[in-house]
Amino acid sequence: MGQFILRRFGIMLLTALCLTFIVFFLTNLPPNLEKLAKTQGNMRMTDEQVENWLANRGYLQPMPVKYGQWLGILPGWVIEGTDGKLRGKCLRRDTPPEAAPRFCGVLQGDWGWSTRFRDEVATIVFKRLSLTGWLMLAVMCVMVPGALILGVLAGMKEGSRLDRTVSTLSIATTATPEYVSGVIFIAVFASSAVGLKWFKGTATSAMDDITFANFTLPVVTIALYGMGYIARMTRASMAEVMTTQYIRTARLKGVSFPAIVMRHALRNALIAPFTVIMLQFPWLLNGVVIVETLFNYKGFGWTLVQAASNNDIELLLGLSVVAVFVVLVTQLISDIGYVLLNPRIRIS
């Protein structure tokens, strides 16, 4: 088991390295750098000015060198610019140049500087991630119990009308992407045209103060998309358990139907949905980006969109490391959890 986890961590590290290098490569392509220079400096810069701007800020070094500096295995650049100002990757406004460290990369715990938000990447990522954390927590609290209850209700009597309705509804929710359900929810529950106005159509105020009115729609929008899938998995697992011999024995012994479901079937039926729930996290990440953009909730997803559309290189790298980490760790947990829950499977 220990060796298995160690190997998985090795693969995880390799994946993160490859992925950040791809992001690094794509964001450092010349046209993207030119866009960055123009949005940061001045829209009407000449080609020569762009060149100078980029050279002064160390963007025109060879790609592997820059990547090494970001990782912290090569010393950070210090360039005296054409305008006479001394700039360096490791120089910050508050420390004098002599006191600055030579290496300042991820290995030294320095995630770099965001050009879009003009702040430390680590600070931004931490702040935004905690905002998204609240959203995810609320989504999990709604989605998991809801999906499990629906799945169990549908699966305990396969083929009944309740089963068919729940199955069709769960297909319908998986067919409704977040940007569709979000738009429908806002139109119905928050617009002046329909007039219900139960909730707010934006979640900006939820960043300071979460209330029922401003947080319900984003949470329900994300939860609904994942719910159908988990409910279908739970239903399949429950239906399978209900056909086993020991359930029939209990039934023939005269145990009442609710007691069979609650005491005998439920626990065995919940093994399979566990892995599915863990694997939903990467999907949620995707949904979070859409929903945060739609409801203007400035969390992780919103920041990702901002960083990507402004070619904010170091912030994008930080965000993709977090994203990869979430995807791979949930995969690991689901694998380990599956083995722990199901004694028939062994990792060799």
Partner 1 sequence: MESLTWTGAAGPFLNPLLAVSAAVTVIAFLAEAVLGVLDKDRRVILDREGAALLSGGARGLASLALLGGAAGCLAAVAGYLIAGLVLEGPDKGIIGWLALRFLPVWVALGVLYSVSFTFRRRLGLYGKLFDSPIGMIGFGIVMFWLFTAVFADMIATHDPLAQVSGMKNKLPGTPVRGAGPGDFAWYLLGGDNLARDVFSRMVMGAREVLKIAPAATAFAFMVGVTLGLPAAYFGGRLDTTLSFLSNLVLAFPVILLFYLLVTPEIRAAGAEVPLWGGRVWTTSIPNVLAAVLFAFPIVFFVTLWNSRFRVRPGLRNVLVGLTVVLGLWMYSGLAFNADPAGVFGMDPNLLNVFVSVVFVNSPTVFRIVRGIALDIKTRDYIAAAQTRGERPWYIMLWEILPNARGPLIVDFCLRIGYTTILLGTLGFFGLGVSPESPDWGSTINDGRKLLSIYPHPALPPALALMSLVLGLNLLADGLREESLRD
Contact footprint for partner 1 (CB under 8 A): 11, 14-15, 18-19, 23, 26-27, 29-32, 34-35, 153, 157, 160-162, 165, 168, 171-172, 174-177, 179-181, 183-184, 186-187, 190-194, 201, 256-258, 282, 285-286, 289-290, 293-294, 304-305, 308-309, 316, 319-320, 323-324, 327-328
User: How many angstroms separate the CA atoms of 335 and 337, rounded?
Assistant: 6
Which residues have C-beta within 8 Å of that of residue 80, sequence separation ≥ 6? 86, 87
Q: For partner 1, give the closer residue by CB, 104 or 238.
A: 238
User: Residue 76 or residue 311: which is nearer to partner 1 going by CB?
Assistant: 311
- How far apart are alpha carbons 289 and 305 in whole angstroms? 7
Q: Of 143 and 289, which has the nearer Cβ to partner 1? A: 289
Torsion angle, alpha carbons of 177, 330, 144, 171, to 10:
40
Min separation Cβ 180 and partner 1, Å: 4
CB of 105 to partner 1, least distance (A): 21
Pairing of strands 78-80, 86-88: antiparallel
The nearer residue to partner 1, 121 or 285, going by C-beta atoms, is 285
Nearer to partner 1, 91 or 170 (CB): 170
Q: How far is the CB of 25 from partner 1 (least distance, A)?
A: 9
Distance CA 215, CA 128 (A): 16
Please name which of 40, 183, 175 lies closest in space to residue 116, comparing C-alpha atoms. 40
Q: Provide the minimum distance between the beta carbon of 78 and partner 1 in the complex, in angstroms, as a whole number.
A: 28
Strand pairing of 119-120 and 78-80?
Answer: unpaired
Rounded least distance, CB 79 to partner 1, Å: 24
* CA–CA distances in Å: residue 260 to residues 170, 257, 299, 348: 25, 5, 44, 36
